[in-house]
Amino acid sequence: MNSVIASLLGKSRRVLWLVSTCLSIMLTLPIVAMMQLILEGKVTTNYLLTGFVAALLVACAISGLLIHLLKTLNQLHQDNQYLNALINQCPVPIAIYQRSGEITYINAEFTRLFGYLIDDIPSIAAFLEKACSDKNTKSLLERLLPLNSASNTPSHPDVQLAPVALDIYTKNQETKSTLVSSAKMNAKHNDSQLLVCFDISD
């Protein structure tokens, strides 16, 4: 999909306009001719000329919208790649999760420190189950993470909460003393939250 967008953006506006024009004419003229044939029993040059002009106008509108849409999609893709690169190269363990509890992304440092891949902890519930052994730690972490479920909804879910020092179990059952915090992402990612973990082990 992204390669198709890049390929189309590489074409000149004239090429995109020409393609839109040809498609519009191919779709419009047969319809116009069929309508006149049904209504009047004949097809005239004037009627086809009117259809041709209409096709040109439609082609101009379609090509303009197409170029704008392609540029927007390409910019969104580039922004997403840039954000992923920043998070993945960050020296601090970070996971991104949804208010539903689904974990959608973990960076390389998170995997290096704790050993978990996203397949190991696809949700906050799975992370709590594997990384927290005692009930007190689970309770603290549940209150820290803004979730939409009935049991895990803090009173101010959009406010960044103070970091909490917790002992987190790695995939190899080692204990890591960790400073854990959660932060809301910007308005464009309203349902996404950052789980940030600082290793404070000696």
**88 exposed, middle or buried (CB, 10 Å; 0-12, 13-18, 19+)?**
middle
**Region of 35 on the Ramachandran plot (φ > 0 left; ψ -120 to 50 alpha; else beta):** alpha
Other Cβ atoms closer than 10 A to 153: 11
**Region of 198 on the Ramachandran plot (φ > 0 left; ψ -120 to 50 alpha; else beta):** beta
Which has the higher per-residue pLDDT, 74 or 165? 165
Q: Report how far residue 186's alpha carbon sits from residue 56's, in angstroms, rounded to the nearest whole number.
A: 42
Residue 182 in this model has a pLDDT that exceeds 60: yes
Domain check: are 122 and 194 in the same one?
yes
Identify the pLDDT of residue 8.
Answer: 54
Q: If pLDDT is split at 50, 70 and 90, which confidence band does 15 have?
A: confident
Last residue of a domain, one of 87, 105, 139: 87
pTM of the predicted protein model: 0.59
Residue 91 in this model has a pLDDT that exceeds 60: yes
CATH at residue 130: 3.30.450.20
Q: Report how far residue 71's alpha carbon sits from residue 114's, in angstroms, rounded to the nearest whole number.
A: 39
Identify the pLDDT of residue 153.
Answer: 41
Which structure tokens are listed for 93?
A: 């363990």
Q: Report how far residue 74's alpha carbon sits from residue 69's, in angstroms, rounded to the nearest whole number.
A: 9
**Region of 185 on the Ramachandran plot (φ > 0 left; ψ -120 to 50 alpha; else beta):** beta
Q: Report how far residue 25's alpha carbon sits from residue 91's, in angstroms, rounded to the nearest whole number.
A: 56
Contact at 8 Å (CB) between 200 and 177?
A: yes
Last residue of a domain, one of 59, 87, 115: 87
Per residue in 25-76, pLDDT tens? 777 777 777 877 787 777 777 777 777 777 777 777 777 777 777 778 778 7
Number of domains in the chain: 2
Domain check: are 10 and 60 in the same one?
yes
Last residue of a domain, one of 87, 104, 135: 87
Domain check: are 158 and 146 in the same one?
yes
Identify the pLDDT of residue 10.
Answer: 55
Identify the pLDDT of residue 159.
Answer: 47
| High-pLDDT (> 70) share of the chain, % | 79
Identify the pLDDT of residue 115.
Answer: 94
Residue 154 in this model has a pLDDT that exceeds 50: no
Domain check: are 106 and 190 in the same one?
yes
Give whole-number Cα distances, 199 to 23, 92, 110, 124, 196, in Å: 59, 8, 10, 19, 10
| Residue ranges in the chain assigned as alpha helix (H) | 2-10, 13-40, 45-89, 108-114, 124-131, 135-144
Residue 6 in this model has a pLDDT that exceeds 60: no
Mean pLDDT of 171-183: 88
Mean pLDDT of 98-115: 90
Residue 125 in this model has a pLDDT that exceeds 70: yes
Identify the pLDDT of residue 111.
Answer: 94
Contact at 8 Å (CB) between 196 and 181?
A: yes
Domain interval for residue 99? 91-199
- The mean of the pLDDT values for the chain is 76
